[in-house]
A and B are shown apart, each in its own frame.
Chain A
């Protein structure tokens, strides 16, 4: 299952959720390199290599972005919009990973070209199962564009 190490950008403001996601992904040895940012502003700084992330070595191009919607400072949908309208970033698959199942959010996310929309299940077993599938689908089976840093 393992190829070369994959970079994942996890945008999640809730520390506990971030820990759960990372642990579950690592458990299935899917995520080799997790990069965690806790708000929308940092996510944009990472992707656009600004502020604390101005050094490209600190901000390798992720193979996939896991994006929460309700984020401090800059909202998840705004991050999504900026990523998808930026030529150099728009090819990166963005998976929305949020606790909201509001139809409005789902619709808006897909309109802004989200690649997938996942709702965090409350049930633990479902949560782990979903992350496992997510890992396999996006990081193993799915063919990603080889991005240049």
Chain B
């Protein structure tokens, strides 16, 4: 039992089946042979007793009248039973009256045993000895001894042994065949299972699965094992993606702190620097330089205020879209433009607005900021364009709706079109701004599942900012809000 404990299941099943079948065959046949030997011996004894009675009845006359020739003849008839090796008849005085022995070899005469009962007795040299008193008219006149070498019994015992051996071989063959078929039913699924478990524990590959072939307990076990693996695999995947997300956020945070600390420090250096200059210039009384120093300080302080305001705005944009609603993009634009009327008119910019833009599902407030930032930028970087113009519209790019804000101003050189979206990135320090606007715009577009990029402008000059919104409805979704005449100035 204890040896089995450390064996692989295949061998366990094999040995259990083989040993069990062997034991049952041997024990069963052993018991049956034991009784069958006993029965045969018993019936042999009965036979011999009957025979002895018959002989003793038939030799009464010859014994009484002392004619041993008749008795010899009678005993000679015993040769028909070859297993009887020896027989003798004694007269009343115990003298040998007649005898018989098989063949002529007198050595075959078995030894008499001390105590003989009429039931028969096994002699020392393995003969069955039956003794029969010869009684005539109520008086014993002699006795008869029959010795049988039990060769019949032995022969049938040998035959039984042969049959038993054949049966054992057959049973073992059948048992072996059964273990093989049981392997596929019991041990193979479990061996598979333990193989998979072992591979997982060494490789850590939770995408492996045990083969599901049978029903019942083992099927349930394999099924549960696979479910467990799937659960672990999913949990692992989720954990990995969370860690990845966290790492990305960390990197972003690091970059953010880095740029913020750098760019917030910059106006402070200016302020401190020019306050120092101011003190010097006040001593020397250079009024013109004093004014210049004060302007520098003021400018830097304003810059700081704007930086803080925009940073706050950036942090407010957050990471997820707020309340979304589905509406025509024209509504968004029309709602934003009035607030920009001042700057647009001051620069005399002509506005061209596509009056049939598709519906979008967006956080409207956030997209007001997008439009506002893009239009303000377009105006700010108009340069010395004589006929400034800005167009807002939507084009179909494959399945996607691409919205755009396009101008004919200074434009952005191709190399820097990606850089402008970075935090605090300003291509021109001399134009008022903090370098946060486009970062905010990109963040808003991205939390709506879209992307934003810069392309060539409308005419030979200028720049076009394009963006997608993944929540956009189809372009063929007509909107009825067409009260825009397509042009405002």
Contacts and interface: CB of A to CB of B under 8 A. Distances in A.
A20 B277 contact: yes
A70 B419 CA distance: 12
A2 to B, nearest CB: 23
A17 B266 contact: yes
Interface residues of A, number: 26
Interface in B418-442: 419, 424-430
Most buried by A among B268, B272, B413, B415: B272
Given A14-B270, A70-B424, A73-B419, A100 B276 contact: no
Interface in B231-264: 258-259, 261-263
Contact of B429 (A13, A121, A122): A13
B300 interface: yes
A1 interface: no
Most buried by A among B276, B419, B424: B276
Nearest to A125: B276
A15 B269 contact: no
A124 B262 contact: no
A52 to B, nearest CB: 14
A72 B276 contact: no
Contacts of A100: 258, 261-262
B274 interface: yes
Given A13-B429, A72-B428, A125-B276, A99 B296 contact: no
A20 B273 contact: yes
A102 B256 CA distance: 12
A13 B431 CA distance: 12
Nearest to B275: A124
B262 A73 contact: no
A120 B429 contact: no
B273 A127 contact: yes
B265 A99 contact: yes
A102 B254 CA distance: 11
Most buried by B among A15, A104, A124, A125: A124
B416 interface: yes
Contacts of B299: 16
Interface string B315-348: 0000000000000000000000000000000000
A16 B274 contact: yes
Given A17-B266, A99-B266, A122-B265, A72 B272 contact: no
Contact of B272 (A19, A23, A98, A123): A123
A38 interface: yes
Interface string A89-119: 0000000001110101000000000000000
A8 B348 CA distance: 43
A122 B426 contact: no
A15 B415 contact: no
Given A100-B262, A127-B276, A120 B269 contact: yes
Contacts of A124: 272-273, 275-277
Interface residues of B, number: 30
A128 interface: yes
A120 B271 CA distance: 13
Contacts of A14: 266, 270, 429
B273 A72 contact: no
A127 B429 contact: no
B270 A17 contact: yes
Contacts of A102: 258, 261-262
B293 to A, nearest CB: 10
B416 A73 contact: yes
Interface string A3-37: 00000000001111101100100000000000000
A23 B277 contact: yes
A17 B419 contact: no
B269 A128 contact: no
A14 B426 CA distance: 11
A15 B273 contact: no
Given A14-B266, A99-B262, A122-B269, A73 B429 contact: no
Nearest to A75: B419
Contacts of A19: 296
Contacts of A39: 427, 429
Interface string B183-197: 000000000000000
A117 B428 CA distance: 25
Nearest to A72: B427
B252 to A, nearest CB: 15
A4 to B, nearest CB: 29
Nearest to B426: A72
A17 B269 contact: yes
Contact of A127 (B269, B425, B428): B269
A73 B266 contact: no
Contacts of A99: 262, 265-266, 269
Contacts of B296: 16, 19
A20 B258 contact: no
Nearest to B415: A73
A137 to B, nearest CB: 21
Nearest to B264: A99
Contact of B425 (A16, A72, A120, A121): A72
Contacts of A128: 276
A71 to B, nearest CB: 9
Interface in B274-324: 274-277, 296, 299-300
Interface of A: 13-17, 19-20, 23, 38-39, 70, 72-73, 98-100, 102, 104, 120-125, 127-128
Interface of B: 258-259, 261-263, 265-266, 268-270, 272-277, 296, 299-300, 413, 415-416, 419, 424-430
5 contacts: A16-B270, A72-B425, A102-B261, A124-B272, A127-B276
Given A16-B270, A124-B277, 13 more contacts: A13-B426, A13-B429, A14-B266, A16-B273, A17-B266, A72-B425, A72-B427, A73-B427, A99-B262, A102-B262, A121-B269, A122-B268, A122-B269
